[in-house]
Amino acid sequence: MTTLEQFIITRQQEREGSGAFSKILRDLGLAGKLLSFYLRRASLSGLLGELGLTNIQGESVQKLDHLANTLLIRLLSQNPHVAGLASEEEEHILPANPEGKYVVLLDPLDGSSNIDTGVPVGTIFSIYRRISPLGTPCSEADFLQGGRAQVAAGYILYGTSTLLFYTTGEGVHGFTLEPAAGEFFLTYPHVEMPPKSTYYSFNDNQLHEWEPSLQRYVADLHTRNRTSAKPQSLRYVGSLVADFHRNLLKGGLFMYPGTVQKPEGKLRLLYEGYPMAFLAEQAGAKATNGRQALLDVPPSKIHQRTPLFIGPAEEIDRIHTFLNTNVPVETL
Ligand code: AHM
Ligand code: MG
């Protein structure tokens, strides 16, 4: 049995790393343990419901959103290796330790609409090596390096068990929290997404607002299902971490496209898009904005939004064929 800590330390020794990066991952694991503890008792501890504040995204802040954000920021800003943080819940970047080598981006509690109902939610993280000079306060440019510059990304899923999945560019590895021991154990080494889609996950309440070529793709998906020996099933939780995680293990497409009104979609490029795209590519899958690989989309601001298409290469390529050519209706 390998604990997260042992796994991180072994990898650090192999790379002759300084240990700085490992300590950040360890803190993220600690935050995961604490948040898992609070979430499981939330309805008993008066932690459900709205806080009465609105965040930078214009969304109502839930008490647990606030708790997760505060806990992660406190924990990580005490870490001497963290130069600064950016959070979906914070308007501006938060400089931490000028001597730190890394910056961390967070979606502290993803799936806010599910928080009060006992449905799985998650924490998403992404880590970059700073580009501003050591010894100075970090700058926004450290956070806007683009998806390919991520040195690590991952998520913690608070579901039937608490899982931590991450990548440092050497595959995706998953750990399960054993609450009795208070340790994450390696349970999913080298995760690959199955190449065939078993599931599709999207909220189609705005389908009439999607571009016609994407509506044609959805019609194609249903048509294939009518004739296929193995039709794909709809599964949509409404928590990106949970939806992505299921699709990662079982093979499935997740998409959150833009609409005529909001072509940029809902999800955030830095806090949700890039980290999930890094994990997807490392698991042999694809992630795009419908036009290009998401990791190649240049960022211009920290709270930028993006359409997101993520899943097995075959399914994503099919979507691209629809989006980028005019597939005649009679082929459907
Ligand atoms: P959040 O960060 O405020 O929780 O919003 C992001 C969430 C994702 O987890 C999920 O994929 C999506 O919003 C669901 O949106 P919708 O309710 O429109 O289907
Ligand atoms: Mg989110």
Ligand 1 touching residue 310 (CB < 6 A): no
* Same structural domain, 186 and 205: no
Pair 12, 130 in one domain: yes
Q: What is the pLDDT of residues 210-221, one digit of tens each?
A: 999 999 999 999
- Does residue 78 lie in a domain region? yes
pLDDT surpassing 90 at residue 11:
no
User: What was the pLDDT predicted at 332?
Assistant: 44
Q: How confident is the model at residue 264 (pLDDT cuts 50, 70, 90)?
A: very high
Q: What is the pLDDT of residue 209?
A: 96
Establish if 53 belongs to a structural domain: yes
The finding on whether 311 has its CB within 6 A of some atom of ligand 1 is no
* pLDDT above 50: residue 26: yes
Q: Closest ligand 1 atom to the C-alpha of 59?
A: 3
Ligand nearest to the CA of 60: 1
238 close to ligand 1 (CB < 6 Angstrom): yes
Query: Is 332 a domain residue?
Result: no
pLDDT of 290 above 70: yes
Report the domain count for the chain: 2
- Residues 162 and 15 grouped into a single domain: yes
Task: Measure 279 CA to ligand 1 centroid, in angstroms.
Answer: 19
107 pocket-lining for ligand 1 (C-beta < 6 Å): yes
State the distance from the centre of ligand 1 to the C-alpha of 269, rounded, in angstroms.
13
Residue 328 belongs to some domain of the structure: no
55 and 116 in a common domain: yes
For a substitution probing ligand 1, which of 54, 110, 264 has the most ligand atoms within 8 Å of its CB?
110
Do 28 and 137 share a domain, yes or no? yes
Residue range 256-285: average pLDDT?
97
Residues 164, 226 within the same domain: no
CATH number at residue 240: 3.40.190.80
Quick check: CB of 113 below 6 Å from ligand 1? yes
User: For 149-190, what is each residue's pLDDT tens digit?
Assistant: 999 999 999 999 999 999 999 999 999 999 999 999 999 999
Residues 76 and 168 in one domain: yes
- pTM beyond 0.85: yes
Q: Average pLDDT of 222-249?
A: 96
Q: Of the given ranges (13-22, 92-101, 162-171, 259-268), which has the lowest mean pLDDT?
A: 13-22
% residues pLDDT > 70 (the chain):
97
pLDDT value for 16: 66
The reply to whether ligand 1 has any atom less than 6 angstroms from the CB of 59 is yes
Q: Residue 30 C-alpha to ligand 1 middle, in angstroms?
A: 25
Q: Residue 276 pLDDT more than 50?
A: yes
Same-domain check for residues 250 and 110:
no
Indicate which CATH number applies to the domain containing 85: 3.30.540.10
Binding site membership of 55 for ligand 1 (Cβ less than 6 Å): no
For residues 75 and 121, membership in a common domain is answered with yes
**252 lies in the same domain as 145:** no
Q: Answer whether residue 107 is part of any domain.
A: yes
Q: Say whether both 205 and 139 belong to one domain.
A: no
Out of 139, 173, 190, pick the residue that ends a domain. Answer: 190
Residue of 53, 66, 113, 272 to test ligand 1 pocket, by largest number of atoms within 8 Å of CB = 113
Between the CA of 237 and the centroid of ligand 1 the distance, in Å, is: 9
The answer as to whether 208 is a domain residue is: yes
| 3-state helix/strand/coil string of the chain | CCEHHHHHHHHHHHCCCCCHHHHHHHHHHHHHHHHHHHHHCCCCCCCCCEEEEECCCCCEEEHHHHHHHHHHHHHHHCCCCEEEEEECCCCCCEECCCCCCEEEEEEEEECHHHHHHCCCEEEEEEEEECCCCCCCCCCHHHHCCCHHHEEEEEEEEECCCEEEEEECCCCEEEEEEECCCCEEEEEECCCCCCCCCCEEECCHHHHHHCCHHHHHHHHHHHHHHHHCCCCCEECCCCCHHHHHHHHHHHCEEEEECCCCCCCCCCCEHHHHHHHHHHHHHHCCCEEECCCCEHHHCCCCCCCCECCEEEECHHHHHHHHHHHHCCCCHHHC
Closest-lying ligand to the alpha carbon of 56? 1
Whether 331 is in a domain gets the answer: no
Which of 138, 161, 190 is the C-terminal boundary of a domain? 190
Number of the ligand closest to the Cα of 271: 2
Residues spanned by the domain of 222 = 199-323
Q: Considering the domain boundaries, does residue 263 fall inside one? A: yes
| pLDDT value at residue 201 | 98
pLDDT at 243 over 90: yes
Mean pLDDT, residues 99-124 taken together: 95
Give the list of residues 6+ apart from residue 145 with CB closer than 8 angstroms, or none: 128, 131, 299
Task: Single out the residue in 156, 190, 224 at which a domain terminates.
Answer: 190
The answer to whether residues 98 and 170 belong to one domain is: yes
